Amino acid sequence: MAEKKATKYPPGITEEMVLQAKQKYGEAGYVKYIDLYDGEGEMLLTVLAVRPKRQIVQEFERSQYDPKTAKEVLVNNCLLSHKDKVKADDVLFEAAFNGISELLPIGRHSFHLPEEFGTLPEGITKSMIDEAVADNRISIRIVKLASGESEKDFVHVLMCAPTRAAISDHQRWRAENPNKARSILLKSALLSHADTVSKNDFLYYTGAAAAIELKPKAAAVVKNL
């Protein structure tokens, strides 16, 4: 009798599960194995998971005022194997959440001075920049926002440092309602493409991250007596 070929799939994960996942979510790196470890470095379990879709990321962000609910959003929607086992064990659940968090599409941004552009990007005009200068806005920048979904999915927007009032409101809401806090800061800092950014969750989150970086930094100068 021929020796049975050893399976290449981790325990609890079948070839059918993997093929179905790839067929449903595509071959572009969306489906992953995640090894789950305890706090002492012992590998406990390998699970199958998928990168969160846009609406799941949005629900996750909306739920962050309640960390337990936010974690459940990611684990429940992205874990493709061992769901009952993971949900029944706090260590496995925490490890699964940490692993799936690494699959979140991360948007990127880069800052540029307006004078770096010979021709201003579409949707940004010299009058917008002049108006920001006239309003005494600081750190006026053209920011390239990339969504993280595709290298081609980006937009150049005009931004500046958020106002002191917006920064204060952001601080007040940050713990209770992170999404509202993020929205306050972005609304204050974004000077163009408001509709484009608001309709794309990843551009929205990336723009908010840029707004946080544009916040004026508190500073001090130490002098000798």
Cβ–Cβ under 8 Å, residues 111 and 90? no
Mapping DSSP to helix (H, G, I), strand (E, B) and coil, where does residue 110 land?
Answer: strand
Residue 204 structure tokens? 């929205």
Enclosing H/E stretch for 103: none
Residue 176 structure tokens? 């209770």
Same domain, 179 and 208: yes
Handedness of CA 188, 138, 174, 62 (dihedral sign): positive
Q: Determine how β-strand 141-146 pairs with β-strand 43-50.
A: unpaired
Work out the mean pLDDT of the chain and round it to a whole number: 86
Task: Give residue for tokens 């090894």.
Answer: 35
Looking at the structure of the chain, the number of domains it has is 2
Question: At residue 58, does pLDDT exceed 80?
Answer: no
Enclosing H/E stretch for 148: none
Predicted confidence at residue 88, as pLDDT, reads 94
CA distance 147 to 80: 25
**The domain spanning residue 193 has which CATH number?**
3.30.2220
Same domain, 145 and 166: yes
**What pTM was computed for the model?**
0.59
**The domain spanning residue 68 has which CATH number?**
3.30.2220.10
Residue ranges making up the domain that contains 136: 108-214
CA distance 133 to 136: 5
CA distance 24 to 166: 42
Same domain, 116 and 91: no
The per-residue pLDDT for range 104-135, each reduced to its tens digit, is: 766 678 899 999 998 999 999 999 999 999 99
Residue 48 structure tokens? 């199958």
Continuous H helices in the chain: 15-25, 54-62, 67-78, 83-87, 90-101, 126-134, 164-173, 178-189, 194-198, 201-214
Range with the poorest average pLDDT among 52-56, 93-97, 108-112: 52-56
Which amino acid appears at position 112 of this protein?
Answer: H
Give the residue from 101, 133, 150 where a domain finishes.
101
